[in-house]
Homo-oligomer: A and B are copies of this chain.
Amino acid sequence: MSLLVTGSIAIDSVQTPFGKSDGLLGGSASYFSYAGSFFGPVRLVGAVGPDFPEEFLELLKSRNIDTAGLEVRPNSKTFRWAGTYKGSMNEAVTTDLQLNVLAETPPPIPPDFRDSTFVFLANTSPALQLDLLSQLHAPRMVVADTRDHWITEARDDFLILLKKTTGLVLNDFEAKILTGLDNMVAAGQAILKLGPQFAVIKKGEHGCLLFADSNICALPAYPTSKVKDPTGAGDCFAGGMMGYLASADAVDFPALTKSLGFATVLASFAIEDFSLNRLKQISLDDINDRLEKFRTLSSF
């Protein structure tokens, strides 16, 4: 099994009630690949500019992350995002956005990566996600992320994408926009009728819901008051989920539910500090320890 992620690589500036930090490694593909790399190798496809710090590249390379698909474009600039979180920190307010390399033709999937079996298409335009998907030979599991903008502004493409993906990962607000339904159980079941074999609705501090055929799994979030920066939590969630699935080489419902346990744990670590700072301090043992703790405190 081989795990591939396509997505953004960013330089972030983040402000939360607990501080402000600039020049951070960010982007969906960075978070996903780092979280996934605890479980096995991850192939990364993305693009940056020459302003991308060497230390970030070294950090990714120091992990189980194959950066052969990471293009450094000499005449471009790295995607930059700045955001502020307030109150319950459920949503960031974007204070600056410089698309830079993200506005250009995206990098192709390298020939050596096209046999990948587990694929995560991080949030970008559905047309681009479809193009990336078409470059793959015969993936066993393709999971797409998205955001509200694409559901409303590129709905036709998005609906085509849904018919070609194994799973969709999205948050509760996006699920509501996609289905028009307020009840998240009804929404999850409605999403399955649009194509994917499974759907995961992420509810941030309220946990997640998994839908597959007539099966449902409902998990709380890992209860923590240590929330310093929620940026990338959703991508670490997806990285933990697919990292585990790829390492187990499994796509059945019990494996999916267990992958959500790991997903929850990875997200819970990620939010404890800015960028990947907390994930840099932990090992797979720490992840397994917290998984067992999570199992205990969500049992009755």
**Which of A's residues lie within 8 Å of B, judged by CB?**
87-89, 182-186, 189, 203, 205-207, 209, 215-225, 227, 257-258, 260-261, 295, 297-300
B218 and A221 within 8 A (CB): yes
**In the bound complex, CA of A297 to CA of B207 (Å):** 14
Q: Which of B88, B215, B217, B300 contacts A217 (CB 8 A)?
A: B300
Given that A216-B297, A298-B298, A300-B257 are known contacts, is A88 also in contact with B223, CB under 8 Å in the complex?
Answer: no
Report whether B295 and A223 are in contact in the complex, using a CB–CB cutoff of 8 Å. Answer: no
Across the interface, do A88 and B183 meet the contact criterion of CB distance under 8 Å? Answer: yes
A186 vs B297: C-alpha distance in the bound complex, in angstroms? 16
Does the CB pair B300–A183 fall under 8 Å? no
How many identical chains are in the complex?
A: 2
Residue contact A219 to B220, C-beta cutoff 8 Å = yes
Within 8 Å CB of A207, what residues of B? Answer: 206-207, 218, 220
How far is B87's CA from A216's CA once the two chains are assembled, in angstroms? 23
- B209 x A184 contact (CB < 8 A): no
Contact B297 A225 (CB under 8 A): no
Min CB gap A226→B, angstroms: 9
CA distance A227 to B298 in the complex (A): 24
Are B203 and A206 in contact (CB-based, < 8 A)?
Answer: yes
The 6 closest A-B pairs by CB, nearest first: A206-B206, A218-B220, A88-B182, A261-B300, A186-B225, A185-B225
Set of chain B residues within 8 Å of A189, measured between Cβ atoms: 225
Q: Are B206 and A223 in contact (CB under 8 A)?
A: no
A217-B257 contact, Cβ under 8 Å, with A182-B87, A185-B223, A224-B185: no
28 example contacts (A-B, Cβ-Cβ < 8 A) are as follows A88-B183, A89-B182, A183-B205, A183-B225, A183-B227, A184-B205, A184-B223, A185-B225, A186-B225, A203-B206, A207-B218, A207-B220, A209-B220, A209-B223, A215-B297, A217-B297, A217-B299, A217-B300, A218-B220, A218-B221, A218-B223, A218-B297, A218-B298, A257-B299, A258-B300, A261-B300, A295-B300, A298-B298
Chain B residues with CB under 8 Å of A221's CB are 218
